[in-house]
Amino acid sequence: MSGEVLGSIFNQNGYSTAKMRAVWADENRLKVVCQVETALAYAMARAGNIPEDAYEQIKLRLVPENFDLTQLRLEAARSGHFLAGFVSYSQRLFDDDSGQYVHYGATSEDIEDTCYVMQLKQANEVIHNYLTKFGSVLYELTRKYKKTLTAAMAHRTYAAPSTLGFKLAIHLNELDYLMRRLKEVGEFTFAGSLAGVEGLSTMLGDHYEQVEADFCQELDLSTPEMYWHTQRERFTEYCNVLTMISQLLGKLGRNLLVMNQTQVGEFRETYAKGRQGSTVIPTVEEPYMCEAIVNLATIIRNEMPLMYDTMQVTGEKDTTVWRDIYVVLPEMTMYLSGQLNYATVVLSKGYFDTQRMSKNFELDDGTMYSGAIMMALGKHIGRQNAHELLVRLRVESDVKGVLLKDLYYSDKEIAKYLSKGELDDIMSPGNILPHAVGKTDKILRLYRQRHSDEIE
């Protein structure tokens, strides 16, 4: 039983995916703790700090199958400290004194931090797979619609001609950068820790650097340059990249919501058999997935202040801020998994209505071309004078109820410098296609070069 959405069997799939929840499940947590403690024993035995036989026994017996989760939970509750409970419980798994070497040479934070890095690395793999799928869908849609005319919007009003593919290419280019950034920050973040309380690794013996290196290598983690129990920027920076990915998805969701409005009608979420939009309006098909994408962007963004707080560590050990990490890392990655899943489904199964897009495009009264006309006139009368002339025509159009486009042709001042043919050419939306398609093709090419093995 749970009072929050990630733990509720009724709500959890609306906020996360099963794959990501499995990463942070108690069963996997126990598995990772066993792996990390075993790697510690391996590194200590290799340095001669503990008997080789003790390591072999730890490797054999410190496995999740030998633990009763309920009993382990009770042991941890009695001690008020999970790892203390874990070490105490694990003693019963041994027939000799090998159990005395469990956790030998490490501080709790060494194990806790390394375990969270291990789980975050697993979560990163899930996120990478979701990003790859989403990127493939976005790539194909960008390519498909690179010549589809639509209106660029300024402050939610028509501004200039554009293409749907170009708009999607903006998102694709941003995704490309963030995927590469996530890889870079991951290489820094996924490091183990075996530094002890003060960071000097005094419990590891004279060969402490080799012990830490062996420990990290055994877990397929990088060896840190410096003790980082008090350096929490690795987690903060990683989460910041996740948050930027989330905000990119949120931006996409917001724009799709606008396109989904009845008055616009340029995009629709798909409704498979059995899916319902309302209990009171039987025929309505609400854009719930787009709304969820926007909502999750807000939730994830509001987790970041906690991550900045984690960097304000007092002394060498300080759980007043470390505890935030144990909340944010699981929650943020789970929420992002749900958001990426929604975004992929929305784009792959949704429907862009290009006919409606074309009809909406024709609703423009000439405003979309006023900037181009101003630039053409500016060559003759100056940009500011041209700007004032067109503002006057805008007012005249509103007062007289005349189409602005018609005033372009009838205005005597404009006629002095621009012929009807020149105005026709300026107001031909096809003129922007070479620019839009060329730029879109460039972004497609760059994405393909950088992610060739990831495009499905």
- pLDDT, tens only, 87-129: 999 999 999 999 999 999 999 999 999 999 999 999 999 999 9
Classified as helix, coil or strand, 149 is strand
With CA atoms as reference, report the closest residue to 292 among 328, 345, 330, 241. Answer: 345
With CA atoms as reference, report the closest residue to 329 among 112, 134, 129, 111. Answer: 112
Give percent of the chain above pLDDT 70: 97
pLDDT at position 1, please?
A: 44
**86 with 187, same domain?**
no
Is the distance from CB of 353 to CB of 150 less than 8 angstroms? Answer: no
Domain assignment present for residue 294? The answer is yes
Is the distance from CB of 285 to CB of 269 less than 8 angstroms? Answer: yes
Average pLDDT over residues 189-211: 84
Q: Which of 270-279, 312-321, 354-363, 376-385 has the lowest mean pLDDT?
A: 270-279
Note down the domain range covering 238: 108-147+158-194+226-355+433-456
| Cα 404 from Cα 394, distance rounded (Å) | 6
Number of domains in the chain: 3
**298 with 396, same domain?**
no
Pairing of strands 149-154, 157-163: antiparallel
Domain assignment present for residue 285? The answer is yes
Task: List Cβ<8 Å contacts ≥24 apart for 11-17.
Answer: 13/338, 14/292, 14/338, 15/296, 15/334, 15/335, 15/338, 16/334, 16/335, 16/337, 16/338, 17/126, 17/130, 17/334, 17/337, 17/338, 17/341
pLDDT at position 2, please?
A: 63
Any residues with CB less than 8 A from the CB of 425 and at least 6 apart, and which?
Answer: 431
**407 with 449, same domain?**
no
- pLDDT, tens only, 160-179: 999 999 999 999 999 999 99
- What is the enclosing helix (H) or strand (E) of 267? strand 267-268
Domain assignment present for residue 6? The answer is no
Domain assignment present for residue 438? The answer is yes
| Cα 261 from Cα 266, distance rounded (Å) | 8
Sign, CA torsion 105/186/314/84: negative
**382 with 398, same domain?**
yes
- End-to-end CA, the chain: 39
**44 with 166, same domain?**
no
**342 with 411, same domain?**
no
pLDDT at position 262, please?
A: 93
**131 with 278, same domain?**
yes
Is the distance from CB of 169 to CB of 440 less than 8 angstroms? Answer: yes
**374 with 339, same domain?**
no
**168 with 74, same domain?**
no
**327 with 393, same domain?**
no
- State the DSSP code for 13: G
Which tokens hold the place of 91?
């003693």
Domain assignment present for residue 204? The answer is no
pLDDT at 205 over 90: no
Give percent of the chain above pLDDT 90: 83
